[in-house]
Amino acid sequence: MIAILAAMDIELEALKALMSDITYKSIKSVEVIFGKLDGHDVILAKSGVGKVEAAIRTVIILEEFDVELLIDIGSSGSLKEEIGVGSVIIPSVLAYHDLDVPDWPKDFQDLRHVFHPDSRLLRIAERLGGDDCHILPHVTGDAFIYRQDQWEKILKEYPSAASVEMEATAIANAATILDVPFIIIRAISDVVIKEGSEVVYDEFLQHAAERSAIFCKRFIKEFKYEYCK
């Protein structure tokens, strides 16, 4: 079974629009959507916004179902000018930008709190992606990033980070603990280091959600071909 998580309704609906044979079931207060995506059985659920909500719901899904692959989809903010709105971002490594303990190393150096997708999954994403798909480091924290003081602090401590959002590292953390392969497929809704990014976010969130959902569908097809042949 492939499980897919999305933080918000707009992101969840973008993927659900690509599914068929849809049914619903509530499990421990989490509504789970069952269906097929390009002929493959999947389940879809909303992770909620923020690290704690996402981690709890990830654990519920992974403990209730025999999940062979966990995918997190949705939107992210870009931390690099050259990675623009609509680009797909696949984190190669994930960390919490708001984990702040004296003397603990930053920029993905503290292996206790750094998480890596399976290298085989990243290779599939690399094959599928074109010039508008980036496999780069990513950070997560419990804040919507749009102010200069916010992104300057992140880039000071995690200069190699290409994107930022509020759930992915927590989902990766839970999946790692429960030994379930995972990959994060996000699309850029705004470039946070540009002035007015919060306005751009509102304007392009739908586009980012759709871009992420379409790439997820393509990824699952390729994953099933490679792992089931």
Instruction: Decide: residue 119, CB within 10 A, 0-12 exposed, 13-18 middle, 19+ buried.
Output: exposed
Q: Which of 165, 167, 190, 210 is catalytic?
A: 190
Q: Among 62, 21, 61, 14, which residue's Cα sits nearest to residue 38? A: 21
Tens-level pLDDT at each residue, the chain (229 residues): 999 999 999 999 999 999 999 999 999 989 999 999 988 999 999 999 999 999 999 999 999 999 999 999 999 999 999 999 999 999 999 999 999 898 888 899 888 899 999 999 999 999 998 878 999 999 999 999 999 999 999 999 999 999 999 999 999 999 999 999 999 999 999 999 988 777 778 888 999 999 999 999 999 999 877 766 5
Question: Domain 2-228 falls in which CATH fold?
Answer: Rossmann fold (3.40.50)
pLDDT value of residue 228: 60
Q: Which of 9, 11, 38, 98 is catalytic?
A: 11
C-alpha torsion 106→110→114→118, nearest 10: 120
- Block residue for tokens 């798909």: 133
Catalytic: 11? yes
Catalytic: 190? yes
Question: pLDDT, tens digit, for every residue of 55-64?
Answer: 999 999 999 9
pLDDT value of residue 226: 73
On whether the pTM is more than 0.75, the answer is yes
Helix or strand (DSSP H, E) at 45:
strand 40-46
